Amino acid sequence: MEESKNITLKVNSKLYDEYREVCKKEGWIVSRQFEKLMEAELEKRGRENVK
């Protein structure tokens, strides 16, 4: 299993609350969605060793 890292982000409160509700309805985990966004961005930029 890969190591996890706790991070602190500062985001717009309303935006976060709305997105959290979407994730709740879809059964998603907010942090995993952020991970997927980072993975997609790295892939788009051609980084190696990205899932």
| Each residue's pLDDT tens digit, 6-51 | 999 999 999 999 999 999 999 999 999 999 999 999 988 886 655 5
- Report the distance separating Cα 33 and Cα 2, nearest Å: 17
Domain boundaries of the chain, sorted by first residue: 13-44
Angle 26-28-32 (CA atoms, 0-180°, nearest 5)?
Answer: 155
- Report pTM: 0.74
Contacts of 21 (CB under 8 A, 6+ apart): none
Spell out the residues 6+ positions from residue 51 whose beta carbon is closer than 8 angstroms to its own.
39
Encoded amino acid at 31, one letter: S
- Residue 43's contacts (CB-CB under 8 Å, 6 or more residues apart) are 50
